[in-house]
Amino acid sequence: MKYILIIGAGSDIARPLSYLYAKAGYGIYLASRNYEKLTRDANDLKIRYGIDAAAFLFDVTEATTHQSFYQSLPEKPFGVICLAGILGDQKKAEAEFAETKNIFDANFSGCVSIINIIANDLEQRREGFIVGVSSVAGERGRKSNYIYAAAKAGFTTYLSGLRNRLFSSHVQVLTVHPGFIRTKMIEGRNTPEMITATPETVAKDLFHAQQNGKDFIYSQWFWRYIMFAFTMIPESMVKKLDLK
């Protein structure tokens, strides 16, 4: 049985995503801070699909623990999917660097730390895949969330470099840029109904893109055009638009 490891498995995308991989016959490792929830999720997967699943306590921001975490996995995974990330508090981050660092760690440096370790292993084994869920927010800073966006931009760039490095080792690296998703992350915020995806849709897009060997996708597809239009506007004009 091939295993996949889901980092940030407390995310709302994790469950529908794990169903798709379990249905395809993969074993599932779930890792995040919310161990109790993950144990229930892993148990559910075992009963639902008759596959092997396990939960692991893991904090993406504690980089020093990552090496020993990866060593402790019973089977080395064939693929890793990184869903970790927090939106953070932009206003607080502007005032206190601690919050900024927190956002950077959860969305960027922590993810890089664990993916570095797994990338080295996969490179040696010359197989497998790495999926990073970044964000359309990373394509252009806006005043309401540019610290989060900057971390995501860093993550996207990291993944594209990693893709180039691992190409010759037959390791697939997929970057996913989702738009709005109806998850805990944006609970209470008003997002346009028409273009807000369900976690199930994003999970499906991610799964199919990964299975088809893609490098980069938007979820949902129309974000490609929205972001194209948005990034075409010159900075000199964008700053006057007073975007939220």
Distances (CA, A) of 49 to 8, 21, 40, 45, 75: 21, 10, 14, 6, 19
Nearer residue to another protein within complex by CB, 48 or 170: 48
- Alpha-carbon dihedral sign for residues 38, 17, 231, 237: negative
Give least dist CB 204 to another protein, A.
Answer: 15
Binding residue (CB under 8 A) for another protein from 49, 108, 129, 218:
49
Is residue 191 close enough to count as binding another protein by CB under 8 A? no
Q: Integer distance in angstroms from the first to the last C-alpha of the chain?
A: 47
Per CB under 8 A, the list member of 2, 37, 92, 101 interacting with another protein is 37
- Count of other CB atoms within 10 angstroms of residue 121: 14
Our CB check for another protein shows the closer of 42 and 130 to be 42
Least distance to another protein, CB of residue 110, Å: 25
Report the C-alpha gap between 97 and 242 in whole angstroms.
25
Q: In what order do the strands lie in the sheet with 27-32?
A: 53-57, 27-32, 3-7, 79-82, 129-133, 172-178, 216-219
Applying CB under 8 A, the site for another protein has a residue count of 9
Site for another protein in 108-137 (CB under 8 A): none
- State the minimum distance, in angstroms, from the CB of residue 47 to another protein: 4
Binding site for another protein (CB under 8 A): 37, 40-41, 43-44, 47-50
